[in-house]
Amino acid sequence: MNRIDDIFARGRALFLAPMAGFSDCAFRALCKEEGADALVSEFVMANAVLEAPDSSRFWRTLDFDEAQRPFGAQLFGADPLLLAAAARRLADKVRPDFIDLNCGCPAPRIVDQCAGSALLKDLPRTAAILRAVVRAVPELPVTLKMRSGWDAGHIVAPELARIAQAEGAAMITLHARTREQGYGGDADWGLIGRVAASVKIPVVGNGLVRGVSAVQLLRSSGAAGLMVGRAALGRPWLFRALKAELAGEPPPAEPEAAKRLATMLRYAETLLGQGEDLPGIRARLKPFTEGIAGARQLRARMDAVASLGGLRELVGSVSLAP
């Protein structure tokens, strides 16, 4: 049984998505505590992996502890040889459980490098990347995260899934929106179902539909797992709720404001203890305030806080009465 099989050994699996600027080690740890089955790092550029000295802060992006396994390191780039070499260095230095290749990021700065979603327009290059990376790290599973296509007129997910399987990918994650959609509109879970039925390797679904539960989407599609991204920001306990629903149990109640803010403080303490600064982490803290009375004012006041002590004082001043 390989490491990807292990993830699905107990049934449908829940993944934390790689999110640039958010999927740091501390947040991954919170999600793991709350029931996430597998975690994936923020993406890292192949060139940076090859050029960063061993002592560089760059490697903090890929930090994880043993409790976070199974853990995947996500790479992006456009050159098969560079990606293969980067995967080899990651395997030797970081020792993840799998290498994930990004074929879906819609950000212009990534697409302009012919990487991320741009690879959806060049399937031969994507095939060459998969082939090179699979050969470079034979001891590790290689997985692929992709979107459905560049735009509605160019849906390539079924073809790319077959290519990925043929080139040795161990798993596919399909964010069923096009690059043109960005993060707007509903994901096409019918497409996820068709792709899952067309290949033998596990297909994990990503992207939600308004008014439909994530578990309902997962079951109706036949996908092997669910990757949760923005919905988990400020809500790591979402994984616990999804686990309960999958087990046919009533989901636990949403945590009260006191727990939400206490978790935010613990998260902030961890990040600051790792050498980050408060201005640099505010965007990661603010989602924990969603749903709390006076959240907008609280977030505005957070912008003026300059220290952990100030943040603690601010949280202590918040009225938690319903």
pLDDT at residue number 3: 83
Cis before 70 (ω within 30)? yes
Active site residue 105: yes
Which DSSP helix (H) or strand (E) runs through 176? strand 171-178
Cα angle 109, 110, 113; round to 5: 95
**Residue 270 to residues 19, 166, 267: CA-CA distances in angstroms?**
19, 42, 5
Cα angle 287, 288, 292; round to 5: 105
Amino acid at 104: G
pLDDT at residue number 102: 98
Regions in the chain scoring below 70 on pLDDT: 1, 319-322
Q: What is the pLDDT of residues 219-229, one digit of tens each?
A: 999 999 999 99
Q: What is the pLDDT of residues 268-292, one digit of tens each?
A: 999 999 989 999 999 999 999 998 8
**Residue 182 to residues 9, 78, 149, 203: CA-CA distances in angstroms?**
33, 20, 11, 21
**Are 83 and 133 contacting, i.e. CB atoms less than 8 angstroms apart?**
yes
pLDDT at residue number 242: 95
pLDDT at residue number 89: 97
Amino acid at 189: W
CA Rg value for the chain: 20
**Are 15 and 39 contacting, i.e. CB atoms less than 8 angstroms apart?**
yes
Q: Is 306 helix (H, G, I), strand (E, B) or coil?
A: coil
pLDDT at residue number 156: 98
| Distance (Å, whole) CA 307 – CA 252 | 33
> Which residue among the candidates 25, 103, 105, 114 is catalytic per the annotation?
105
End-to-end CA distance of the chain: 50
